[in-house]
Amino acid sequence: MNEAKESLRSIEQKYKLFQQQQFTFVAALEHCRENAHDKIKPITSIEQVQSYTEHYCTNSTDRRILLMFLDICTDLRSLCQRFETLHPGTPITNNFLDKCKTFVSQSNDLSSLRAK
């Protein structure tokens, strides 16, 4: 359980840094969309961010923030898997864990999410 707590702390630290750079993240996505000549359709998934990063990201600052986002998503997926193996759970915690796994799934539609 201590490993899970440490993982969560690490994710929180990365998220705090990412949160301070949200506008940089949005700008990086826009730059990639411009490079991909794909300004009509919204970005809908983590998988699409990964693809843009690999194929259309030409700026090191953009690459850094996009990779930070992808790294946080990967860490969250791993944490969900760790929680699944640590504790059988209750219906409430299992429901919460399922929602988390869906949210960080590579193909989940994120187009309706908005920053707060």
The 3-state secondary structure of 35-88 reads HCCCCCCCCCCHHHHHHHHHHHCCCHHHHHHHHHHHHHHHHHHHHHHHHHHHCC
Q: What pLDDT is stored for residue 6 in this prediction?
A: 92
Residue 41 domain-assigned? yes
Residue 108 domain-assigned? no
Residue 12 domain-assigned? yes
Q: Which domain holds residue 11?
A: 2-103
Q: Return d(Cα 67, Cα 115) in angstroms, integer.
A: 18
Residue 56 domain-assigned? yes
Predicted TM-score (pTM) of this structure = 0.87
Q: What pLDDT is stored for residue 84 in this prediction?
A: 81
Residues of the chain falling short of pLDDT 70: 1, 115-116
Q: What pLDDT is stored for residue 86 in this prediction?
A: 77
Q: What pLDDT is stored for residue 115 in this prediction?
A: 65
Residue 109 domain-assigned? no
Residue 25 domain-assigned? yes
Residue 20 domain-assigned? yes
Structurally, the chain folds into a number of domains equal to 1
Residue 110 domain-assigned? no
Q: What pLDDT is stored for residue 27 in this prediction?
A: 96
Q: What pLDDT is stored for residue 51 in this prediction?
A: 95
